[in-house]
């Protein structure tokens, strides 16, 4: 049986960043979407590139995944969690993000 994927709200992520918590954020959207604004602290790894860029994701550190609405980041989380990564999906994605973007 699969472990349910942990989730976090955009507001909670914003608060962690405000509190200067050391969080790891990965944005899995496509280049053109990221060009329209991403969370400044987020690292951009497209969903399709995750399998070949696993070495850029810390396995034992909790990593929060972000996309436009929470669907693709959820798929990234399922994939990585099955490989033993510690992952969290930001529900609602960038559509619900009200914090800073770059």
Helix and strand element counts for the chain (H, E): 3, 5
67 is annotated as an active-site residue? yes
Nearest to 48 by CA among 67, 71, 26, 29: 29
3-state secondary structure of 62: coil
Q: According to DSSP H, which parts of the chain are helical?
A: 10-18, 31-35, 71-82
* 8 Å CB contact between 52 and 78: no
Active-site entry in 8, 66, 67, 88: 67
Q: What would you measure as the largest C-alpha separation in the chain, in angstroms? A: 39
Q: Could you give the residue numbers annotated as active site?
A: 67
């Amino acid at each position: 049986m699969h472990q349910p994927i942990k989730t976090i709200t955009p507001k909670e992520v914003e608060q962690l960043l405000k509190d200067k918590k050391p969080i790891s954020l990965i944005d899995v959207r496509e280049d053109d979407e990221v060009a329209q604004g991403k969370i400044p602290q987020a690292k951009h790894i497209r969903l399709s590139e995750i399998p070949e860029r696993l070495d850029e994701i810390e396995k034992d550190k909790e990593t929060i995944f972000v996309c436009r609405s929470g669907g693709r980041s959820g798929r990234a989380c399922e994939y990585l969690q099955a490989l033993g990564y510690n992952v969290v999906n930001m529900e609602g994605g960038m559509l619900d993000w009200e914090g800073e973007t770059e």
